[in-house]
């Protein structure tokens, strides 16, 4: 009998958007994952849009230093509204801009 992995670290990944799509699909299947550290991964805005679909599931995701910009904040905010069980989201060292931070903070109070 094996124990399900509750935590996974994939920091500093620089895969392409289509590889992030495959990764997001795999995350949807793994219901035992509680913490996912993607610190310093190169999601860019296109990749994070795919991940936001996955964020609608109860996961703990870290997105520190992933080259995110204001352009992805609307999708990210929507995912956070749907996923009320998300326990931790670190967006440090991203260029979200004032507008992106405002979008996230306004919707986090819903």
Instruction: Specify the DSSP class assigned to residue 4.
Output: P
Whether 33 is in a domain gets the answer yes
Give the model's pLDDT for residue 4.
Answer: 43
**Domain carrying residue 83:** 7-108
> What does the buried/exposed string (b/e) look like for 57-73 if buried means 16 or more CB atoms within 10 Å of the residue's CB?
bebbbbbbbbbbebbbb
Whether 12 is in a domain gets the answer yes
* Confidence tier at 59 by pLDDT (50, 70, 90): very low
Whether 51 is in a domain gets the answer yes
Average pLDDT, the chain: 70
Region 10-29 average pLDDT: 64
Instruction: Judge contact between 9 and 37, C-beta under 8 A.
Output: yes
Give the model's pLDDT for residue 6.
Answer: 44
Total structural domains within the chain: 1
Region 61-66 average pLDDT: 68
Region 40-50 average pLDDT: 71
Q: pTM here?
A: 0.55
Whether 83 is in a domain gets the answer yes
Whether 1 is in a domain gets the answer no
For 87-104, what is each residue's pLDDT tens digit?
667 788 888 899 999 998
Specify the CATH number for the domain of residue 41. 3.80.10.10
What is d(CA 15, CA 93) in angstroms, rounded to the nearest whole number?
19
């Amino acid at each position: 009998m094996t124990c399900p992995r509750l935590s996974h670290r994939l920091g500093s990944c620089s895969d392409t958007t289509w590889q992030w799509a495959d990764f997001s699909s795999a995350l949807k299947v793994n219901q035992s994952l509680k913490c996912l550290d993607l610190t310093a991964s190169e999601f860019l805005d296109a990749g994070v849009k795919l991940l936001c679909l996955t964020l609608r599931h109860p996961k703990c995701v870290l997105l520190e230093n992933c080259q995110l910009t204001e352009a992805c904040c609307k999708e990210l905010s929507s995912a956070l509204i749907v996923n009320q069980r998300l326990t931790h989201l670190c967006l440090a060292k991203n260029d979200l801009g004032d507008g992106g931070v405002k979008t996230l903070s306004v919707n986090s109070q819903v």
